[in-house]
Amino acid sequence: MGSKGEALRQRIVVAADNLFYQQGYENTSFSDIADVVGISRGNFYYHFKSKDEILNAVIDARIAGIEMMLDEWDKKLKDPRQRLYYYIDMPLRNQEEIRLHGCPTGSLCTELAKANRAMLDDANKMFTVFHDWLVVQLNLLGINKNVKKIAMHFIARVQGIAIVTNAFEDKDFLQQEVKQLKKWLDDEVLKSGHS
């Protein structure tokens, strides 16, 4: 496939990613994606034979995007606590999208848990990337005890914040919970004997 074909494939993945996030995987059809990209269904099927193929490409693109984002944070922010604060602030930086559609990762995993369990393990890899990064940051802070559980707690808290913010469209709740999660992190650092 030439660079023109690869560029079109990439446009399809980006359009599918946006539609899966805004409408849901189940509510997005081939036609929806083809219409956004501006191609015929025949041209669409040349690149993707099934909706699961598109979903795989979207998940791969999201994982690559998460890895790139976390790498940028590692370069930009030298202190692991600042990196963790930045992770906690993610719902604030994306509060309008969260208010309207929830978390892209959480909402896709929740939908696949109900509709397409075969793809759920692949989608969960997005959370695994975050989890592994959180473990590294917590270790750098000197938190070594129960670090994997603490990383899961981070993910659960941020996901809970996104779900409730989306359900109630409550920006005040979002800001309050982000502040509390930072305090919780500071308390965990103190408990570990580091400041």
> What DSSP string describes 119-141?
HHHHHHHHHHHHHHHHHHHHHHT
Which regions of the chain carry the CATH code 1.10.357.10?
Answer: 61-191
Per-residue pLDDT of 73-95, as tens digits, reads 999 999 999 999 999 999 999 99
Closest to 194 measured CA to CA, from 156, 137, 133: 137
Measured distance CA(62)–CA(21) in Å, rounded: 11
Whether 120 and 113 have beta carbons less than 8 Å apart is answered as: yes
Residue 139 pLDDT exceeds 70: yes
What is the fold of 61-191? Answer: Tetracycline Repressor; domain 2 (1.10.357)
Crossing angle for the helix pair 30-37 and 3-23, to the nearest 10 degrees: 120
Q: What pLDDT is recorded for position 23?
A: 95
Geometric angle at alpha carbon 126, from 138 and 112, rounded to 5° = 135
Per-residue pLDDT of 45-80, as tens digits, reads 889 999 889 999 999 999 999 999 999 999 999 999
Whether 131 and 152 have beta carbons less than 8 Å apart is answered as: yes
Crossing angle for the helix pair 80-88 and 51-76, to the nearest 10 degrees: 140
CATH for the stretch 1-49: 1.10.10.60
Q: What pLDDT is recorded for position 29?
A: 93
Residue 195 pLDDT exceeds 70: no
Residue 78 CB neighbours (<10 A):
8
Record the pTM. Answer: 0.91
Per-residue pLDDT of 83-129, as tens digits, reads 999 999 999 999 999 989 999 999 999 988 887 777 888 889 999 99
Contacts of 188 (CB under 8 A, 6+ apart): 143, 150
